[in-house]
Amino acid sequence: MIIEGEQKVTNVNIYSPDVTGPQGLRVGDTLAEVMNKVRLITCVGGHDEMVQKVECSPAKSADIFTYGFALKTPLPPLPDGKALTPDILPQTLIMSNIIWSSRTLDRTALPVPAPKPVSVLSAQQLLHQGMRIMSRAYRNDGSLNSSEAGKALYYYLEAAKKGSAEAYFRIGVLYENGVGVVKNPNGAVAYYERAASLGYIQGFSQIILLQDDHKNFAGAAQTFFNFYRANPAVAMQGIGNWSEDILRTIQNIL
């Protein structure tokens, strides 16, 4: 949590899931959970590839709350004249922060708990903390803050130790793209494989794309068969993203 000023402050940015916001809301809640308790009116952001979150606000009052939600991909363009509203957003978006603005905030009255040691946080809490940090790792000019990316990787690794399949996947993404770490496609594949083995089947798709890039068509075909055994419907959905060489190799094996 960032607190500006001395006793009287005007802006508090809550990132910790241990701090309770208005209506009992906490960082890590989904958009659907927020909307069940707060009537959000307008939203901004999310259409630029460098902007990894969208911010939504309720009607203005003495205390103004803005809720930030992390995005995995940029939002599609809106039709001309149509405003971005919370009802058209994916209801599964995870809240990454709460901005509390007021002219009367008293720092001494703010609920600021002692931070929990990483060892007592659950895998899901660690994963969400890593995602929150990663969401602000890119500066406004699009450059990467390597220090923040490294912090995100730390939380992903801790979440993975506690069995988070998605954490393994996100570590793989970092290694595949060289974000906060030295680029390592083989390392990425290892993490994707672990994610897939724990049930995060998107790992199979990333492995196939990497194998395709490195012209390992036989390996990609074998990964497809593993994918198909895990979830036939989802495996078949990805075929359109693969090269003719992979599809030909799969056909020859069949």
Express each pLDDT in 182-195 by its tens digit. 888 888 999 999 99
Token look-up 């069995």 returns 163
**Mean pLDDT over each residue of the chain, to the nearest integer:** 80
| pLDDT tens digits along 27-36 | 888 888 888 8
Give 21 or 84, the one with higher predicted confidence: 84
Three-class secondary structure of residue 97 per DSSP: strand
d(CA 139, CA 98): 20
Instruction: Show Cβ contacts of residue 46 under 8 Å, excluding neighbours closer than 6 positions.
Output: 53, 54, 71, 74, 75, 84
Question: To the nearest whole percent, how much of the chain has pLDDT over 90?
Answer: 29
Mean pLDDT comparison of 40-54, 87-101, 228-242, highest-scoring range = 228-242
Is residue 200's pLDDT more than 60? yes
- Measured CA distances, 160 to 141, 191, 199, 213 (Å): 31, 10, 13, 27
What pLDDT sits at residue 37? Answer: 86
Binning pLDDT at 50, 70 and 90, where does residue 128 land? very high
Q: What is the pTM of this model?
A: 0.55
Complete domains list, the chain, with CATH: 2-106 (no CATH), 118-253 (1.25.40.10)
> For residue 197, is pLDDT > 90?
yes
Span 124-149, average pLDDT: 84
Could you report the per-residue pLDDT of 43-61, keeping only the tens digit for each? 887 655 445 678 888 876 6
Distance CA 149, CA 94 (A): 19
Residue 14 and residue 111: Cα distance in Å, rounded?
10
Segment 116-125 long-range contacts (CB within 8 Å, at least 24 positions apart):
116/18, 118/155, 118/158, 121/158, 122/162, 123/159, 123/162, 123/163, 123/164, 123/167, 124/28, 124/159, 124/164, 125/17, 125/28
What is the average per-residue pLDDT within 221-226?
A: 93
